[in-house]
Amino acid sequence: MAISTIGTNAITDATIATGDIADDAVTVAKTSGVGFGVQNVDQFRLTSNFNGDAGAITSNLSRVSEVGAAGGAVGSQMAFSSGVFTFPQTGMYLVEFRSAASWTGTILFHTTAIQVTVNNSDYTTRAEGDMVVTDPSGTWYGSTGTSFLVDVTNVSNVKVRFKIDAANNNVTTRGSTNVNLTYMTFTRLGDT
């Protein structure tokens, strides 16, 4: 069956027969990673509460792995040591950081940040999310998140870490061993 037009673009039997459209689509998919789905996903969570600043979160992190989860990771896994996350392979990654907090007191803030290094040494904040409360009464709960696209051109040099800034020790960053309260997700979107 010949399709003569779609909108204003003509597609002929000859074009379909030679396979130009299909060949071009496969070539683009092979070179860009588009069309083959997500190749790498990994997720970590904070496993216990802490009060005040964390600077870079260096401990109490665990890969999400309980029944009903995605098994912790799809494809190659992130490596974690002393607060620094190393990517398993080069590519473009979506890095997401979400935190949960509770607090009591006046004019309190809780800030989440994604920090990136491109030389395995100097870290720069590339994404930030903030919460502020000015009501002095009661206990409050909230969450914030941020994300950043990281172009991992070299797995030895390009790394990330996660930072929490809090007004004081009346602010608690919440963690759990079996619920995502404060957590990080790494998704490889394609080749760089």
Alpha-helical regions (H) of the chain? 13-18, 20-32
- Residue 137 CB: number of other CB atoms within 10 A? 8
Q: What does R_g of the chain's alpha carbons equal in angstroms?
A: 22
Instruction: Give how far Cα 32 sits from Cα of 35, 99, 102, 163, Å.
Output: 9, 32, 43, 32
Q: What is the mean pLDDT of residues 76-97?
A: 95
- 4: helix, coil or strand? coil
Tokens 């069309």 locate to 35
pLDDT tens digits, one per residue of 46-68: 999 999 888 889 999 999 987 56
Query: Is the per-residue pLDDT at 33 higher than 60?
Result: no
Rounded distance between C-alpha atoms, residue 181 and residue 179, angstroms: 6
**pLDDT value of position 6:** 44
Domains along the sequence of the chain with CATH? 1-36 (no CATH), 38-190 (2.60.120.40)
- Burial class from Cβ neighbours inside 10 Å (0-12, 13-18, 19+) for residue 62 reads middle
